Amino acid sequence: MGSERISALAPLYDEVAKCGKCGFCQPTCPVYRTTFREGHVARGKNALFRNLVEGETVLDVDLRDSFDHCLLCRACTAACFPAVRTDQLVLAFRETYARRFGRPTLQRLIFRGLLPFPDRMRLVIRAAWTARRLGLDSLAARAGLLDMINPKLRNALEIKEDVPARFLRDRAADTGLGRPSARTVERGPAPLRVGYWISCGYNYMLPEVGEATLEALRQIGASVEILGNACCGLPVYGYGDRDGARSLARRNIELLGDLSRFDAVVSECGSCSGHLKEYPDLLADDPEFSVRAHRLAAMTRSFSEFVDPLLARTADLAPPPAAPDGDPDRPLVVTYHEPCHLGARYQGVVTQPRRILKSLPGVEYRELPEADSCCGAAGSFNVLHPEVAGGILARKMERVAAIGADVLVTECPACLLQLGLGVRRAGLPVRVAGISELVVSYSTGQRRAGSDRNGIRGGVE
Amino acid sequence: MIAARVLEDLAAVVGAHNVLSRRADLQTYEYDAYLEKALPGAVVFVDSTEQVSGVVRVLHRERIPFVPRGCGTNLSGGVLARGGGVVIEMARMNRVLEIDLPNRRMLVEPGVYNLDLSTALQPYGYYYAPDPASQKACSIGGNVGENAGGPHCFKYGVTSNHVLGLEVVLPDGEAVWFGGGGLDQPGFDLTGLLVGSEGTLGIVTKILLRILRLPEAVKTMLAVYDTIDDASNTVSAIVAAGMVPATLEMMDNAVIQAVEDSMAAGFPRDAAAVLILELDGLREGMEEQAERMIELCRANNVRELRVAQTEEERAALWKGRKGAFGAVSRLAPSYLVADGTVPRTRLPETIRRVGEISRRYGLPVANVFHAGDGNLHPLILFDSRKAEDRERVVAAGMEMLQLCADMGGTVSGEHGIGLEKAEAMRMVFDDGDLRAQEWVKECFDPEDLCNPGKVLPDRVSRLSGGRV
Ligand SMILES: Cc1cc2nc3c(=O)[nH]c(=O)nc-3n(C[C@H](O)[C@H](O)[C@H](O)COP(=O)(O)OP(=O)(O)OC[C@H]3O[C@@H](n4cnc5c(N)ncnc54)[C@H](O)[C@@H]3O)c2cc1C
Ligand code: SF4
Ligand code: SF4
């Protein structure tokens, strides 16, 4: 049954055969640490994958549980001496499974008809928000619409009392944010030319963080153009739709146009910047786009990666904003959650955000234990498996509570929303903030960190 | 196949979502770190002693075999449910119940990771001594099952030296306590009997462990040699001089290369062997001891000596050692560890003959050993995808165990007997010896339900169901 399809997995036989079943991946897998299921850890996935290739099992719905339960966080590979690429095996499985059994029509529609087109996205999401406000959200949820567009959004619906009145793209256009600052810092003959990549998460959910990013870029003297990009394609890729992800990559390269007008393409979304850097891999066999994919990847920077070397050269930072309890002498205790797609296992951006935070006056930086362990947001994961995602998040919150931070900083909208949910559930007096919000609050002297309108990302007041 | 009726009874004890019986799920419990497979009939997750008792009672009533499973990192097929039995998954019982500093002990559940014991104790200045190389990924329950050892066991002893008492669910479901607080318990030493019984006499549900104060000072050094003989002779000389270093670990060139390829621990690639020597204890006298050890290394033609100056340097040396198995796994798709022990003085000769066996079978070998204990771990490289490789590697492993027995040693150091080495028991025990062991098993488990087909050879021949 379907053996010709499974043969698509055969090229990965060498990869999976490297797994010696030593179990070293187990303690690092966030999913396993929550469910204790062997099928959810890399060793179990690899065993099933191998059985599939060897004909010891058949491709059926029972196998899905194992391969669905993966955050693609690569913690297993990092702990694995032969470095088995379980994330690639999972993606290959998802793709093969979808080819064999088909994708839901709606998913196909969204991947092909919506995500590539920012204007359509905007209308649909606006409509969904309106539905939510009119109490129609259950309808929308039933249609699975939001899940499919971007699972982060549905999760966000649970969190957000209110929705942004305007999306980031509109707000930035109105306020002229992103124009070069008068306070250009000493950095060379001409201002750095930055293409600002708008991630769906900031655009539709957390525009105030996006504004902080733009403001921070302006303050360090960059001249910023807001890119007309569509979804980077990571959610599509995560569902195992490689073809869909490839066409989104091509589409974005086209939308960005001539790259020579930029010195860097910057995003504060760890997932977007991480995925842009994977475009060359994705388009390796595409003669038309491969060169441009390389070019784009080479100039892509995460926010902290871009800002870190420049920050050292900016003018003095303003005095620190007061700690939440108003005591001006107490340092603001800041900690950092490392997004999977930004950190050691994807982009290798590890020291930069920490260095930035440590450089802020009046900040006491404390390293979060297991800072690089996934928070459970991970694309579709928190929608497909809310309970498991909740368990992963609870573990993260235990760590946050234990070190007693005032502010929990990160660099990814999905993580921001997830962590915000976490501090609220755990009732922690902790603010959750995008890293640019902290940088900006220091250079303007306002306490912006996590103080967005609704306090959604804050814990107990 | 386990009858639906029985599955329902199990679900009544632990909840339906804690009973797995779909084939896809069972296939993720058909293996451990050894190379055979056996599909269980069901997997049951337990969360308390009462649940373990309840589950075992049902299985005992139905005469269905069962096996407790920790993290499945054992290297001898110990958790394979031969004959389609039920896997009892202990992972969720992972609580540290009590840390009792004045009495230097801690009470834990079996699912706690070995390394987490020391992590929990560290703030108080204590630790748990036995440190298998797999300590991040293996459970204390599995350590008790296998009587696990590790680099520091040369000085501090293996798991059995650190277990003071156990709560055990017997094969009929009754929960009992063995041992307790004191060092010498009245009556039979049933704790000692249970440790290393590989899940064949009962299921351990609580463990009372001895804990130690973190040593005041530690000194770690790397000694580099041009011949294995010189390295081995150093080990013998150190022991003969009455010194008790915390560790005496050896790695041969193949392992050094592999470690350097995978993590650049800083071992010289052209060395024939390196020793990792560690002293620990009181600060006073440490320098003199180190001097004395260095002298002994020099007397045995050491080429280079490096003493770790910082905690980072020390960590780097240990990272290389603890990652050795893993690093070797990059050399070939699969490896098999032959875990045997020989008298220390016969190490050089044994290693030479292990090399001969390796050449004869055409399967490369990398050597890493707890040299202080004479415990060698030749890692035999092969490709588990090839049926003929699998046959040859098992035969080569057996020959190496026979070699250890012939050298006056034994067929297991610390990885247990399990399924892998049940037959090899005959190399060191005669029928009478084995009968005595069977009596113990029969006394605890007359129906042969508790991890059947392990440890004792004739029990292996009675069962089938494993497939290579
Ligand atoms: C890379 C690598 C390195 C290793 N290095 C070492 C080393 O240095 N030293 C060493 O000694 N071992 C080593 N091992 C082997 C293995 O890690 C140990 O045997 C460990 O003790 C197994 O623990 P586990 O939790 O994985 O137990 P499992 O493999 O799950 O079980 C082991 C045995 O214990 C029994 N058992 C498990 N839980 C219980 C319980 N609650 N009650 C009763 N019986 C139980 C099982 O039935 C089985 O027979 C290594 C393994 C690997 C893969
Ligand atoms: S994936 Fe890697 S770490 Fe996990 S069991 Fe396999 S070899 Fe070991
Ligand atoms: S990628 Fe992450 S979630 Fe997936 S198996 Fe590996 S460690 Fe677990």
Q: Phi/psi of residue B21, each to 5°?
A: -145, 0
How far apart, in Å, are the Cα atoms of B25 and each of A63, A394, B22, B73?
Answer: 8, 26, 5, 18
Q: What is the pLDDT of residue B191?
A: 96
Provide, as residue numbers in chain B, all residues whose Cβ is less than 8 Å from the Cβ of A29: none
pLDDT digits (tens, 9 = 90+) for A296-307: 999 999 999 999
Joined together, the tokens standing for residue A133 give 């406000």
Residue B61: count other Cβ atoms within 10 Å of its Cβ.
12
Q: What is the pLDDT of residue B264?
A: 81
User: To test ligand 3's pocket by mutation, which of A24, A25, A29 has the most ligand atoms within 8 angstroms of CB?
Assistant: A29
Q: Please give the average per-residue pLDDT across B196-205, as a whole number.
A: 98
Joined together, the tokens standing for residue A140 give 């929308």
The answer to whether B402 contacts chain A (CB < 8 Å) is no
Partners of B250 in the beta sheet?
A: B275, B369
Give just the sign of the alpha carbon dihedral A353, A355, A359, A363: positive
* CATH of residue A349: 3.40.50.1860
Residue B72 Cβ contacting ligand 1 at under 6 Å: yes
| Gap between the terminal Cα atoms of chain A | 58
Q: What does the buried/exposed string (b/e) look like for A378-398 if buried means 16 or more CB atoms within 10 Å of the residue's CB?
A: bbbbbbebeebbbbbbebbbe
Radius of gyration for chain B, computed over Cα atoms and rounded to the nearest angstrom = 22
Beta-carbon separation of A81 and B329 below 8 A: yes
Selected residue of A36, A67, A76 to mutate for chain B interface (largest B Cβ count, 10 A) = A36
pLDDT > 80? residue A127? no
Nearest residue CA, atom 7 of ligand 2?
A19
What is the bridge-based pairing of β-strands A223-226 and A193-196?
parallel
Cα separation, B379 vs B373, in Å, equals 18
Nearest residue CA, atom 5 of ligand 3?
A42
Residue A220: count other Cβ atoms within 10 Å of its Cβ.
23
Instruction: List CB contacts of B24: < 8 A, sequence separation 6 or more.
Output: A39, A48, A57, A60, A62, A63, A65, A66
Ligand 2 atom at minimum distance from A20 CA: 7
Residue A315: count other Cβ atoms within 10 Å of its Cβ.
12
Does A161 reside within a domain? no
Kindly report the CATH class assigned to B4-89: alpha beta
Q: Please give the average per-residue pLDDT across A325-339, as a whole number.
A: 83
Q: Please give the average per-residue pLDDT across B231-247, as a whole number.
A: 92
Does A294 reside within a domain? no
Q: What is the pLDDT of residue A197?
A: 96
Residues on chain A bordering chain B, Cβ-to-Cβ distance under 8 angstroms? 13-14, 17-18, 20-27, 36-39, 43-44, 47-48, 51, 56-57, 60, 62-63, 65-66, 79-82
CA dihedral B131, B135, B136, B138 (to 10 degrees): -150
Residue A445 Cβ contacting ligand 2 at under 6 Å: no
Rounded (5°) CA angle B152-B274-B310:
65
What's CA B116's distance to the chain center, in Å? 17
Q: Which residue of A has its CA nearest to B386?
A: A17
Map B90-132 to HEC letters.
CCCCCCEEEEECCCCEEEECCCCEHHHHHHHHHHHCEECCCCC
Ligand 3 atom at minimum distance from A77 CA: 6
Burial of A214 (0-12, 13-18, 19+ CB in 10 A): buried
pLDDT > 50? residue A187? no
Q: Please give the average per-residue pLDDT across B211-225, as a whole number.
A: 95
Locate the domains of chain B by residue range: 4-89, 96-213, 217-326
Provide, as residue numbers in chain B, all residues whose Cβ is less than 8 Å from the Cβ of A13: 385
Q: How many domains does chain A have?
A: 2
pLDDT > 60? residue A427? yes
Does A190 reside within a domain? no
Does A123 reside within a domain? no
Note whether B414 and B158 are within 8 A (CB). yes
pLDDT > 70? residue A460? no
Distance B461 CA to ligand 1 centre (A): 24
Does A269 reside within a domain? no
Least-confidence region, from A312-321, A382-391, B162-171:
A312-321
Give just the sign of the alpha carbon dihedral B414, B416, B417, B420: negative
Q: Please give the average per-residue pLDDT across B161-186, as a whole number.
A: 90
pLDDT digits (tens, 9 = 90+) for A143-183: 444 554 555 445 544 544 455 767 888 887 766 654 544 44
Cα separation, A272 vs B148, in Å, equals 46
How far apart, in Å, are the Cα atoms of A382 and each of A2, A147, A386, A392?
Answer: 30, 10, 5, 10
ipTM exceeds 0.90, yes or no = yes
Q: What is the mean pLDDT of chain A?
A: 83
Q: What is the pLDDT of residue A175?
A: 67
In three-state secondary structure terms, A142 is helix
pLDDT-based confidence at residue A116 (cuts at 50, 70, 90): confident
Cα separation, A382 vs A390, in Å, equals 8
Beta-carbon separation of B27 and A20 below 8 A: no
Q: What is the pLDDT of residue A325?
A: 54
In three-state secondary structure terms, B382 is strand
Does A138 reside within a domain? no
Identify the helix (H) or strand (E) that includes residue A159. Answer: helix A151-159
* CATH of residue A94: 1.10.1060.10
Residue A16 Cβ contacting ligand 2 at under 6 Å: no
Provide, as residue numbers in chain B, all residues whose Cβ is less than 8 Å from the Cβ of A57: 23-24, 27
Q: What is the pLDDT of residue A5?
A: 56
Nearest residue CA, atom 6 of ligand 3?
A76
Q: At what angle do helices A303-311 and A351-359 cross, to 10 degrees?
A: 50
Instruction: List CB contacts of B63: < 8 A, sequence separation 6 or more.
Output: B447, B449
User: To test ligand 3's pocket by mutation, which of A34, A48, A73, A380 has the most ligand atoms within 8 angstroms of CB?
Assistant: A73
Cα separation, A396 vs A64, in Å, equals 26
What is the bridge-based pairing of β-strands B304-307 and B217-225?
antiparallel
Does A364 reside within a domain? yes
Structural domain including A54 reads 2-101
Does A255 reside within a domain? no
Partners of B304 in the beta sheet?
A: B224
pLDDT > 80? residue A30? yes
CATH code for the domain defined by B96-213: 3.30.465.10
Provide, as residue numbers in chain B, all residues whose Cβ is less than 8 Å from the Cβ of A17: 333-334, 383-385
pLDDT > 80? residue B43? yes
Least-confidence region, from A80-94, A213-227, B29-43, B127-141:
A213-227
Residue A25 Cβ contacting ligand 2 at under 6 Å: yes
Residue A48 Cβ contacting ligand 3 at under 6 Å: no
Ligand 3 atom at minimum distance from A72 CA: 1
Least-confidence region, from A290-294, A416-420, A449-453, B90-94:
A449-453
* Percent of residues, chain A, with pLDDT higher than 90: 58
Q: Which residue has the higher pLDDT, A188 or B220?
A: B220
Q: What is the pLDDT of residue A274?
A: 97
Q: Looking at the structure, give the CATH architecture of the domain made up of residues B217-326.
A: 2-Layer Sandwich (3.30)
Residue A136: count other Cβ atoms within 10 Å of its Cβ.
13
| Gap between the terminal Cα atoms of chain B | 20
Going by the DSSP 8-state scheme, the letter that residue B16 receives in this structure is G
Residue A45 Cβ contacting ligand 2 at under 6 Å: no
Q: Please give the average per-residue pLDDT across B414-439, as a whole number.
A: 92
Provide, as residue numbers in chain A, all residues whose Cβ is less than 8 Å from the Cβ of B325: 22, 81
The answer to whether B461 contacts chain A (CB < 8 Å) is no
pLDDT > 90? residue A138? no
CA nearest neighbour of B401 among B374, B428, B362: B428
Ligand 1 atom at minimum distance from B73 CA: 26
Q: Which residue of B has its CA nearest to A27?
A: B137
Q: What is the pLDDT of residue A105?
A: 78
SS3 content of chain A, % helix, strand, coil (to 5): 55, 5, 40
Note whether B375 and B341 are within 8 A (CB). yes
pLDDT digits (tens, 9 = 90+) for B355-366: 999 999 999 999
Q: Please name which ligand lies nearest the alpha carbon of B145.
A: 1
pLDDT digits (tens, 9 = 90+) for A389-412: 999 999 999 999 999 999 999 999
Provide, as residue numbers in chain A, all residues whose Cβ is less than 8 Å from the Cβ of B45: 36
Least-confidence region, from A40-44, A51-55, A399-403, B464-468:
B464-468
Provide, as residue numbers in chain B, all residues whose Cβ is less than 8 Å from the Cβ of A37: 25, 28
Q: What is the pLDDT of residue A113?
A: 81
What is the bridge-based pairing of β-strands A264-267 and A193-196?
parallel
Q: What is the pLDDT of residue A162?
A: 53
pLDDT > 60? residue A284? yes
pLDDT > 60? residue A451? no
